[in-house]
Amino acid sequence: MNNVQLDIDERSNLTSLNKLELLLFRLGGDAEGQHSELYAINVFKIREIVAMPHVTPIADSHPHMLGVVNLREQIIPVINLPAVVGCIPTAGLKLLLITEFARTTQAFAVEAVEEIVRLEWTSVLPADKTASGALVTSIAKVDGDVPNTRLAQVLDVESILRQLHSNDEPDVDVDTIGAPLNLPEGQVILAADDSVIARALIENALQAMGAKYVMTNSGKQAWDKLEAIDIEAKKEGKTARDKVALVLSDLEMPEMDGFTLTRNIKQDSRFSTIPVIIHSSLSGAANENHVNGVGADAYIAKFVPVELAALLRKTLAKNTPQKRG
């Protein structure tokens, strides 16, 4: 565990070209103790790993919530990750993965940690190309494109949190999200996110703002869509910029991540004038610096609809070509 912790400390600020680092762990098997599969989470979301401390149960909490821990004077909720996924630990819950993402801090209890692997995003398959459930965003080929490679299920931790903290309040309040986005005629917002929950939230927000949009499930899908739009635009004597008002992209996505998508857009003369906003659960100064380094126009942490709406308006106003008199 100590070696894994050192890896996280040393590597959490690294960003490679279309690469990611995954922490691999196990949650246990089925009711017969069989099929202990590999699961994964992006290293960027991990703050630290600690041995299981005393957990204080909380009255009337969700069945998958173990309680809370006091870690260096911070009260952190603890989620029974095997129970969420449907696994039964054979060796007990030994470790806590302390995570920070989507403006929250929480701990996931796991059975065992394996290792950290660095992969090309091309070795990560979107969940919609597999039989994966809603809690899995993608399947990682741990050993790359080799026969009998190990497979790890990359968990959609944002969806897990949403399941545990669901309430009756609407995701988007149309009374507070503000004035509609007045996109120029024929233009759309192109959005990319691999999380089912995140896509639904983004679509709800854009619909509340009256914006036309195209939703994609990965950076590669968004890039392919941009190229298709460019082909159609040329047939009409127009440019891709005439068709796409803005690109709204997640960072963590299979096949092509948001860093690479943004870099491709900004380095291609067909698309370089299209503004790009990074909308990610990965927060912190290091990630914001990386975002600026690939040329994104703005960055915002998930998911506050009012803030997203304000940034969309600001970015669109700043990048709308002025009409000549």
Q: How many CB atoms lie within 10 A of CB 223?
A: 22
For the ranges 150-154, 268-272, 294-298, the lowest mean pLDDT is seen at 294-298
Q: What is the mean pLDDT of residues 262-284?
A: 89
Do 133 and 195 meet the contact criterion of CB atoms below 8 Å apart? Answer: no
Residues 123-142 have pLDDT tens digits of 998 876 554 557 888 899 99
pLDDT band, very low/low/confident/very high, at 323 (cuts 50, 70, 90): very low
Label residue 6 left, alpha or beta by phi (over 0 means left) and psi (-120 to 50 means alpha).
alpha
pLDDT at 95: 96
Residues 196-223 have pLDDT tens digits of 888 888 999 999 999 999 999 999 999 9
Reported as type and span, the H/E element at residue 159 is: helix 157-164
Q: Given CA atoms 295, 298, 301, 304 in this order, what sign does their dihedral have? A: negative
Q: Which residues of 46-84 are buried (b: 16+ CB within 10 A; e: fewer)?
A: bbbbeebeebeeeeeebebbbebbebeeeebbbbbbbbb
pTM for the structure as a whole: 0.82
Average pLDDT of every residue of the chain: 85
Label residue 62 left, alpha or beta by phi (over 0 means left) and psi (-120 to 50 means alpha).
beta
Do 105 and 99 meet the contact criterion of CB atoms below 8 Å apart? Answer: yes
Residues 26-36 have pLDDT tens digits of 999 876 656 78
Do 61 and 68 meet the contact criterion of CB atoms below 8 Å apart? Answer: no
Q: What is the mean pLDDT of residues 88-95?
A: 91
